[in-house]
Amino acid sequence: MTDSLLNLPNLPWVIQSEIIYVLCNYKKNQDHKQIKPSDLFDVAGVSRAWRQATKASSSICWYVNMDIYYLQDYRLHSENPLSLLSGLSHTVNVSIFYPTSGRTKRNKEYADTHLEWFKEHIVNRISLLSIDKEETSEWLDIFNSSQTITQSLKEMSKFNDIYSVPLELYHGLTKVYLDFAMTPCKEICRVLKSCHNLLSLTIDVTECQDLKDADMVKLFSSIPRNITKLRWGSQQYKPPYISHVQPLPFHLLPKSIQHLYIWDPSQCTREYIEHVQANSTTISSISQRGISTQQSIDFLSSPSSTIKRLHLSLQEQTPFSITGKPLVPASLEILKLEVKRYIDLSDQIDCIFKSSGPLPNLHTIIADPLESSQSLRVIDFYAVSFTTSFDQGIDSLLTAITNSSSVERLYFRRSLTNPNYIVDLIKNYIPSIKYMSLASTVLQQNNDMIIFNLKNCLEIDLSSYNLKGKLIKEI
């Protein structure tokens, strides 16, 4: 890109500025949800003028971990006139998880002695705040002393001690994750009622074992009325889970919810099912942990279901035969499937992919393990490691991808300690000529790998991906 731009004769600066602005703000795709600092380096490296324009155009979010980085170093770097941090539009993501560690305490001392700088360049730019432990109260006092933080702060994650967070910090949030522990209902409701602009709420009250049915009525009534996404409970479910509260008062939930994820398996009750069905015009995405009753099967596979996205976690065998029964609705478009390892759940897998009909709308499966579907466009793996049997089966997998008339992309999420892992497998197991239609890229931020089936990507713009040519180019 750089050489071709420099060779353009007398390209007007107004056009160059527009190019820079687009590259700094719109070089995105479904795998790059946000512009990263590394995305700007090539743009800023064209010339000094381009570097200054990049700083002015960029609105990216910089990550500031108080437990890892020194504020003094951050300031030294940001005040360098060539630094991309010296622009006016960027925001910061601040995290504090170990407030008593030496590095974090040193940063607190620096913030206290350089308070005006800290407020102007950190506090007033915070868009996301992640905090833990009760010792963060002194940090929160500084954050809350800024009159503009409620305008910039949009997301927050708070764990354990909730009392240290000033209620004012919740006012402008659009997304929050709250993990309550031994917190009385009154305090939980106070926090929820302080979230005036909330759209996405993740709330876990697993450790609040004193909550009763009457408390749940108050709690559900306090959930902000405009939210569109609710995650109730921890995805890593561990009983007991306030099991004495049966059922939850789902009828008190806001009617605006589109994505409803309830991670307590005991709450797939008649009241829950009736709530989802009564709000079928708005609720399009749900979760289901385990399939243990005929009621849950009938609910999931209902022909009248309008559910488009299902997060299904299979943890154990069903207590009765389900052979030949459908498990997911025909309306399904995206299926995220979790399967507990070392348990034979093949009957449930068969019911999903063989007994649920053709699933004409299904286009994406995010799963481990994976069963094929002729309508698939996207296959998304998430695994920490792969077994030897997977290594030996890579030939069959890539053959299926190559021969597919629909599959566009195959993902390996955060599973590659070595980005060349899959390429190395190809070298070991398969002749290169078989896979000339495949190309790959590695997403550096998470070490995720994507394999594209180029013959099915003719209508997809791949220009924002850093493709390395054919998958087996160097073999």
Tokens found for residue 458: 């003719």
pLDDT score for 269: 87
What is the full DSSP assignment across 74-143?
HHHHHTSTT-GGGSSS-EEEEEES-TTSHHHHHHHHHHHHTHHHHHHHTGGGEEEEEE-SGGGHHHHHHH
Determine the distance from the C-alpha atom of residue 348 to the mean position of all C-alpha atoms in its chain, rounded to a whole number.
27
Category of 12 on φ-ψ map: left (φ > 0), alpha (ψ -120 to 50) or beta: beta
Q: 320, 344 in Cβ contact below 8 A?
A: no
**Under 8 Å CB-to-CB from 341, ≥6 apart: which residues?**
none
pLDDT score for 370: 44
Tokens 């910039």 belong to residue: 152
pLDDT score for 472: 43
What is the full DSSP assignment across 274-324?
HHHHHTTTT--EEEEE---SHHHHHHHT-TT----EEEEEE-S--SS--TT
Strand 409-413 to 448-453 pairing = antiparallel
Length of the chain: 475
pLDDT score for 389: 47
Tokens 């004409």 belong to residue: 360
Q: How far apart are CA 377 and CA 406, in angstroms?
A: 5
Q: Residue 94 phi/psi, 5° resolution?
A: -105, 135
Q: How far apart are CA 474 and CA 122, in angstroms?
A: 46
Strand 61-65 to 438-443 pairing = unpaired
Instruction: With CA atoms as reference, report the closest residue to 199 among 150, 268, 256.
Output: 256
Half-sphere exposure for 115 (CA within 13 Å, toward CB): 10
Q: Which helix (DSSP H) or strand (DSSP E) does residue 448 occupy?
A: strand 448-453
Q: Report residues of the chain scoring pLDDT below 50.
A: 1-2, 4, 240, 369-373, 384, 387-389, 430, 471-475
Q: How far apart are CA 49 and CA 29, in angstroms?
A: 27
Q: How far apart are CA 9 and CA 6, in angstroms?
A: 8
Q: How far apart are CA 120 and CA 115, in angstroms?
A: 9
User: 377-475 adopts what CATH topology?
Assistant: Translation Initiation Factor IF3 (3.30.110)
Q: 273, 246 in Cβ contact below 8 A?
A: no
Q: Residue 104 phi/psi, 5° resolution?
A: -65, -40
Instruction: With CA atoms as reference, report the closest residue to 299 among 325, 277, 322, 321.
Output: 277
pLDDT score for 417: 53
pLDDT in tens, 118-128: 998 899 889 99
Q: Is the pTM of this model over 0.85?
A: no
Instruction: With CA atoms as reference, report the closest residue to 185 among 131, 225, 221.
Output: 221
**Does 247 sit behind a cis peptide bond, omega within 30 degrees of 0 on the bond before it?**
yes
Q: Residue 205 phi/psi, 5° resolution?
A: -115, 25
pLDDT in tens, 369-389: 444 445 578 887 765 455 444
* Angle (CA) 155 161 165, round 5°: 50
pLDDT score for 310: 95
